[in-house]
Amino acid sequence: MNDMSEEDAFEAYEQRPLSQQAMGVSPYLSDLNPPQREAVETLDGPVLLLAGAGTGKTKALTTRLAHLIHTRRAWPSQILAVTFTNKAAREMKNRVGGLIGGAVEGMPWLGTFHSVCVKILRRHAELVELKSSFTILDTDDQIRLIKQIIDVEGIDPKRWPPRMFASMLDRWKNRAVSPGKVPPDECGFANGRGGELYRIYHERLRTLNAVDFGDLLLHVVTILQTHPDVLADYQQRFKYVLVDEYQDTNVAQYLLLRLLAAEHRNICCVGDDDQSIYGWRGAEVENILRFEKDFPDATVIRLERNYRSTPAILAAASGLIAENKSRLGKTLWTEEPDGDPVQIRGVWDADEEARQIGDDIEAAQAKGVKLSDMAVLVRASFQMRAFEERFIHLGLPYRVIGGPRFFEREEIRDAHAYLRLVKSQDDDLSFERICNKPRRGLGDKALQTLHLTARGQSISLMRAARLMLETDELRPQARKSLRGFVEAVDRWTLAAADIPHTELAEMILDESGYTEMWKNDKSPQAGSKLDNLKELVQAMGEFENLAGYLDHVSLVMELDQDSSGDRVSLMTLHAAKGLEFPLVFLPGWEEGIFPSQRSVDEKGQEGLEEERRLAYVGLTRAMESARIFFAANRQVYGRWQNAIPSRFIDELPKQHIDIVSEPGLYGAPASNMPGLSRFDATRVEEDTYYDNPGWRRARAAKARKSAPPPLLEGKAELMTTSAPDASAYAVGERIFHQKFGYGRISAIEGNKLAVDFEKAGAKRVLESFVEKT
DNA sequence: ACGTATGCGATTTTT
DNA sequence: TCGCATACGT
């Protein structure tokens, strides 16, 4: 880490450019509005800052930090500033740095909840029976560990899935429930063995000298609760505490904050109850209410002036969120001119939705709007496919935000397992993961024997392996390859002391045969896996040493996304929180999709309100224009279903929305039909469909691709599948596909091509998705 | 040890 | 419906 001592930090600060020093006492205060300024200047005592969407929250927050340092209320190292994501922490670091000129490097306690806790836990690990070198397990490791335990305990994994237990663990840890303290009525797992399994799991982690994500918080809370001296030390250290996205905190995080801030009581929590969308992850909006109870003298400041969106968008969003019962209440306002109403558009189905949005994007682009100024925000990732297909078809550059992450890929995790095993040979989970990958003839049987010995003597698998080399319990074949493996690990361990860690990684990947394994693999993904391994070595190069790198990847699961190029963004509503775009598309506003059926089923009114907040988040991402779509038909689990427009559409204030549909699509123009947004495909007479040019067009366009939605049966002549026109391509021809790259056509069937792609292997793709090279 | 059969489930996701 | 994960057979 780039810790700087306090002295260094201040030196850097004093040596900041003269231009900044010359600007007067607090130049940064001048461009704040009154409540923002209050948020910055109310430094003493508890502060609850309710910051609506787009109200300059980050600005207030970073300025507050800068002000604390600038006025010398606190040394940078006396400020605790926590965020939820690495991205937010990074942004805060940069912005504070911009304000005070680099001294922020000396803010050692600005980071995510988890990174701050790792830091504390490494210092006091022994207080919870860990060594300070503990490793951090990610979800995947955690599941594998639980599987093992369930197996050993003789529990049927079909009736009691490991994932289910993992989520129970999660819920307990979010609430700071430690192993001995599980309420009896929550022990239902495996016929009442839930609490017992928690204890076993916890014990297993301790012997592995490992923690899971939840433990990072829970252990620190435990330490602070049971060691008054340690607690006092941190309480005195942190003169000021600042929390971002406070509405997302869970109970454990709340307890942690309350403990740490108890001495100076200078705690500032920033949040927005209307943007609380992570309840399913343990976040408790109630923490906002509890704050006012725990700190009755808290100053409550509201940021309500919005600098992002037009009045029309704000009005629509405000009208919607006003339907929620449980909220503190805020009224966003703006001085911007009115702007276009929020557009609502009904379409035939998801393909038509994608087609229209694609067309809209192209039209906007033609008018000079940058692609990077547009975003499509979906409720769930399965909705993305239609858009990706459409964008590829149109040749529209797009970027998916979120999605599968680099460090979670199989090959990367395998490489990490090798590295971790070399760093700490007793890392059983890593041993197990890669001891037979690539295949070395160490099958289930050999591993079972190792496990038996290891468990019997309470030693690690690696140590057990060494013992087995001296006995004849293993078959000669297995023993030979085990010897080879153990010797290789020893060799790498030795080498680790002499050579740079990147070279070590290359050496391991090479000598273990891991790279070779993927080179010999002819599956489509093998190529990209090899690429990823190269990228991994490159990423390692950015770190001082192996330990630093491994620690980083365990907490920062993402690689900085390539933000180059002008592209449309495609992401879930959750991923969109905190972002803004001039033009925002909101597809799939249908009952069951949004609000999601499952949320409503599982959490009732509360779930519905969270969905509504999600809709609010979506709308408030838009700066100039928001367009909501809903489809009359949607394929759910392969079946066509009629869809009803989302209740959220009804809840939008009529004077700020504009219902647009293809001419004649729904008969009369929207303005003549009060309550039109409630129209529902099932109520429209069939005749309307057949006689309606709009529908016919939509239908003809989609006829090529898939089975017809309901209500169209009996009109087969319009639904001829893949017209047998001669293909524009020939077998053997080289083509290009946006998603799969270059390839050669091996067969043609109607409008589908079988292609051998150079990178992605054999695939069947639609002719319309490829282009000649 | 590797391939096929079969069944199940299917939101949101950070660390 | 489709993709996956586990289970069984060669």
Q: CA of A93 vs C1' of B9, distance in Å?
A: 42
Task: Report which residue is nearest nucleotide B8 when distances run from CA to C1'.
Answer: A158
Statement: residue A308 has pLDDT above 80 = yes
**Among A150-159, A273-282, A457-466, which is the least confidently predicted range?**
A150-159
**Residue A479 pLDDT level (bands cut at 50, 70, 90):** confident
Pairing of strands A622-631, A240-243: unpaired
Looking at A364-476, which runs of residues are DSSP E strands? 374-378, 398-400
- pLDDT at residue A171 above 70? yes
- Is the Cβ–Cβ distance between A209 and A430 less than 8 Å? no
Residue A347: DSSP 8-state: E
SS3 annotation, A513-540: CHHHHHHHCCCCCHHHHHHHHHHHHHHH
Distance A437 CA to C5 C1' (A): 19
- pLDDT, residue A319, reads 95
Please tell me which of A81-85, A422-426, A658-662 the model is most confident about, judged by mean pLDDT.
Answer: A81-85
| Nearest residue, CA→C1' of B7 | A158
Does residue A445 carry a pLDDT above 90? no
pTM of the entire predicted model: 0.82
Answer yes or no: is A637 CB < 7 A from strand C: yes
Res A9 pLDDT > 70: no
Distance of A514 CA from B1 C1′ (whole Å): 18
Interatomic distance A457 CA / C9 C1' (Å): 36
Q: Give the integer Cα–Cα distance in Å for A5 and A105.
A: 9
Read off the pLDDT band of A6 (50, 70, 90): very low
Sheet with A734-737, edge to edge strand ranges: A761-766, A752-757, A741-749, A734-737, A770-772
- Please state whether strand C lies within 7 Å of residue A638 at its CB atom: yes
**What is the enclosing helix (H) or strand (E) of A490?**
helix A476-498
Is residue A638 predicted with pLDDT exceeding 80? yes
Q: How many helices (H) and strands (E) does chain A have?
A: 31, 22
Residues of A with catalytic function: 57-58, 244-245, 275, 621
Residues 202-231 of A with CB under 7 A from strand B: 213
- pLDDT cut 90: percent of chain A above it: 57
Q: How far is the CA of A442 from the C1' of C7 (A)?
A: 21
Evaluate if the CB of A363 falls below 7 Å from strand B: no
> Is the C-beta atom of A613 closer than 7 angstroms to strand B?
no
Closest CA to A407 of A539, A542, A517: A539
Q: Among all strands, which nt has the closest C1' to A610 (CA)?
A: B12
Residue nearest to nucleotide C5 (CA to C1'): A158
Quick check: A407 CB within 7 A of strand B? no
pLDDT exceeds cutoff 70 at A516: yes
Q: Return the closest nucleotide (C1') to the Cα of A576.
A: B12
Q: How far apart are CA A630 and CA A151, in angstroms?
A: 46
Residue where the block lists tokens 């489809």: A631
Q: How far is the CA of A763 from the C1' of B4 (A)?
A: 20
Report the distance from CA of residue A443 to the C1' of nucleotide C9 in Å, as an integer.
18
User: Please, which positions of strand C sit below 7 A from a protein CB?
Assistant: 1-2, 7
Strand B and A512 CB separated by under 7 Å: no
Q: How far is the CA of A611 from the C1' of B7 (A)?
A: 32
CB A142 within 8 A of CB A282: no
Q: What is the pLDDT of residue A692?
A: 35
**Closest nt to residue A636, judged CA to C1':** C1
Distance between CA atoms of residues A218 and A222, nearest Å: 6
Please name the nucleotide lying closest to A639, CA to C1'. C1
User: Higher confidence at residue A229 or residue A748?
Assistant: A229
Q: Which residue is nearest to nucleotide B14 (CA to C1')?
A: A85
Distance, CA of A197 to C1' of C6, in Å: 23
Q: Which two tokens stand for residue A513?
A: 């045969």
For strand B, is any atom closer than 7 Å to the CB of A382? yes
Angle, helix A546-555 to helix A501-511, in steps of 10 degrees: 80
List residues bridging with A346 in a β-sheet.
A630
Residue A554 CA to B15 C1' — how many Å? 8
Residues of chain A (152-191) having a beta carbon less than 7 angstroms from strand C:
158
Report the distance separating Cα A504 and Cα A492, nearest Å. 7
- The nucleotide closest to A380 (CA, C1' atoms): B11
* Contacts for A101 with CB less than 8 Å, ≥ 6 apart: A12, A13, A16, A17, A20
Higher pLDDT, A644 or A756: A644
Nucleic acid strand B: bases within 7 A of protein CB? 1-2, 10-15
Rounded to a whole number of angstroms, the distance between the first and last alpha carbons of chain A is 48
- A737-743's contacts with Cβ under 8 Å and 24+ in sequence apart are A737/A392, A737/A765, A737/A769, A737/A770, A737/A771, A738/A392, A738/A395, A738/A769, A739/A388, A739/A392, A739/A769, A740/A765, A742/A773
Residue A480, C-beta contacts closer than 8 angstroms, at least 6 positions apart? none
**Tens digit of each residue's pLDDT (9 = 90 or more) over A172-226:** 999 999 999 999 988 888 888 889 999 999 999 999 999 999 999 999 999 999 9
Pick out the nucleotide with least CA–C1' distance to A157. C6
The reply to whether A250 has its C-beta less than 7 Å from any atom of strand B is no
A280: CB within 7 A of chain B nucleic strand = yes
φ, ψ for residue A585 (rounded to 5)?
-105, 130
Tokens of A702: 């989609």
Higher pLDDT, A530 or A773: A530
User: Which of the pair, A311 or A751, is modelled with greater confidence?
Assistant: A311
Mean of the per-residue pLDDT values of chain A = 83
- pLDDT above 90: residue A126: yes
Instruction: Give the nucleotide nearest to A147 (CA→C1').
Output: C6
Instruction: Please report, rounded to whole angstroms, the spatial distance between the CA atom of protein residue A191 and the C1' atom of nucleotide B2.
Output: 37
Is the model more confident about A28 or about A132?
A132
CB of A604 within 7 Å of some strand B atom:
no
A86 CB closer than 7 A to any strand B atom: yes
Q: How many CB atoms lie within 10 A of CB A192?
A: 11
Q: CA of A145 vs C1' of C5, distance in Å?
A: 17
Which nucleotide C1' is nearest A707 CA?
Answer: C1
Q: Which 3 state secondary structure label does DSSP give A635? A: strand
**Which residues, listed in sequence order, are joined to residue A194 by a DSSP beta bridge?**
none
Tokens 């968008």 belong to which residue? A313
Verify if strand C has an atom below 7 Å from the CB of A404. Answer: no
Per-residue pLDDT of A654-693, as tens digits, reads 999 999 865 444 433 333 333 333 333 333 333 233 233 3
What residue has its CA nearest to the C1' of B11?
A: A380
Both structure tokens of A253? 């995080």
